[in-house]
Amino acid sequence: MLSIQQILKVPRTIGFKIAAGYSFLFACSFVGLTIFAYLFLENTLARQDRQMIRDEVESLQGHYNSGGWAAFNQTVMDNDRFRKNNPFFTRVIHGPEKEEKIFFPQYWKEFDLAALKELPGQTTGKWINLPNQGQTYTLEIFTASQPNGSLFQVGISTEERLSDLQRYEQSFLVISIPLILLAVGGGAFLSRRTLMPMRNMISTVGFIEAGKMDARVPETHTGDELDELGRLFNRMIEKINQLIQGMKGSLDSVAHDLRTPMTRFRNIAEAALQKDHTAPVYREALQECVDESDRILRMLHMLMDISEAEAGTMRLRLQPVNLVPLAEGIVDMYGYVAEEKGIQIKTDFPGEALLEADADRICQVLANLLDNAVKFTEPGGEVGVSIKNLPNRVQIEVIDSGIGIPPEEIQKIWDRLYRGGGATQKGLGLGLSVVNAVVHAHLGDVQVSSVPGSGSIFTVQLPVH
């Protein structure tokens, strides 16, 4: 049972407007077509009546010319036998005295035939409409002349024609009511069927608002725009759900990773307070606190970089860059670390590799890839860095002979704060996430291939422009 408020809201709903619009359009179309059909029928019947009168005039003239008045009179008598329902009116004016003869005057008592005598004489070839006493229909008359100066008039009553039109009007009234009801019902059905995806969407939003994040819009498989909208809505909800789950996971990971440096902060401060109150003790404690704060800031900056890149808002200072000097600087920087581990870094660089890029961000990518390669390569291993100029692109490869990546972890290594199951080195778990984010911000691509125990190959391709 609908409440009064719900009933008052019905006229404002899209479904009601569509149903009302469809019904109104159908009703207007039906009325317009009916009026057109009525006018066409009226005109057709009028032309048929006039054509019958002209045919009768030609017939009477032909018989008069071939047989005189006797043949004329006989033709009128014969026509009366065949047209009892709608006879022809026939009036003759002949002779020097202009004698008048009206055939079968009993048929025409409803008409003031005396008015015909008062009409102007020049009526030959013209139409005359003589109304009946009730002014409901007319006697339509055509005047013709004979070579001897005689006149005769032939007409027909419009009563039968008007009766046909009146039956048409009655049929229209009888048919219009069920058709209008059908239009209203059809409009309501079509609007309900058309807006069903919208109602499903509203219902789904209600479920999601209530906390049921697995609710989805049922697909109708109609292939129309609303069905496509439902599919896009489901994809959007799925993406939002993934982002929410990712945010939860990231927040959990961030909370976990922040707990360690914050605990160290507290432990360093407590230890300093418990020791002798000397400047060296406090200086050492403060230095350790600065190191931990740098670690936290580095983590937060990297998370912000990743978030900006994924949102498409990472600010890039694009400028012409020669990639070779940048790569050489990064290799030199990590050369000392690699040398301490007994790892050899081999390079294969062309004379130059020009592209439009943010130099600082590209250095960040190179540093992270090289840092991982050195970190996960055993002492005595080898790391290779190469740059190639490809058509419209520049390719960077970082190859290591390290521990490799298990196949089930290949796709996970790009996730924020993810650390592989075999990782034994300290790290934030953000390096490869930053690489992926920066490369895609440059409209590039990064891929990895790896064999566990044999090493990994990271391939970065960046567009020249």
Residue 32 domain-assigned (yes or no): yes
Residue 186 domain-assigned (yes or no): no
Does the structure show a pLDDT above 60 at 426? no
Long-range Cβ contact pairs of 254-258 (< 8 A, separation 24 or more): 254/299, 254/303, 254/417, 257/299, 257/417, 257/428, 257/429, 258/296, 258/299
Q: Which residues contact 151 (CB under 8 A, 6 or more apart)?
A: 92, 93, 94, 124, 143, 144, 145
**113-117 average pLDDT score:** 83
User: Which pLDDT score is estimated for 313?
Assistant: 63
If asked whether residues 343 and 454 sit together in one domain, one would say yes
Q: Which amino acid is at 279?
A: A
User: Which pLDDT score is estimated for 421?
Assistant: 54
**291-297 average pLDDT score:** 77
Domain of 387, in residue numbers = 319-463
**32-49 average pLDDT score:** 90
Does the structure show a pLDDT above 90 at 427? no
Q: Which of 259, 294, 311 is the last residue of a domain?
A: 311
Question: Per residue in 45-98, pLDDT tens?
Answer: 999 999 999 998 888 888 888 888 888 888 888 888 877 778 889 988 876 677
Band the pLDDT of 11: cuts 50, 70, 90. Answer: low
Does the structure show a pLDDT above 80 at 144? yes
Number of independent structural domains in the chain: 3
If asked whether residues 293 and 353 sit together in one domain, one would say no
Burial class (CB in 10 A: 0-12, 13-18, 19+), 16: middle
User: Which pLDDT score is estimated for 87?
Assistant: 87
Band the pLDDT of 151: cuts 50, 70, 90. Answer: confident
Q: What is the overall mean pLDDT for the chain?
A: 81
Of 51-55, 313-317, 408-412, the range with the lowest mean pLDDT is 313-317
Alpha helix positions (H), 195-278? 196-209, 225-274
More confident site: 306 or 68:
68
If asked whether residues 92 and 234 sit together in one domain, one would say no
Residue 429 domain-assigned (yes or no): yes
**403-423 average pLDDT score:** 72
If asked whether residues 40 and 154 sit together in one domain, one would say yes
If asked whether residues 387 and 422 sit together in one domain, one would say yes
Share of the chain above pLDDT 70, in %: 85
Q: Which of 311, 345, 364 is the last residue of a domain?
A: 311
Entry pTM = 0.46
If asked whether residues 159 and 95 sit together in one domain, one would say yes
List phi, psi (to 5°) of 354.
-95, 140
Share of the chain above pLDDT 90, in %: 18
What's 407's DSSP letter? G
User: Which pLDDT score is estimated for 319?
Assistant: 92
User: Which pLDDT score is estimated for 25?
Assistant: 82
User: Which pLDDT score is estimated for 346?
Assistant: 92
Of 224-228, 274-278, 455-459, the range with the lowest mean pLDDT is 274-278
Here the CATH number for the domain that contains residue 306 is: 1.10.287.130
Here the CATH number for the domain that contains residue 407 is: 3.30.565.10
If asked whether residues 27 and 160 sit together in one domain, one would say yes
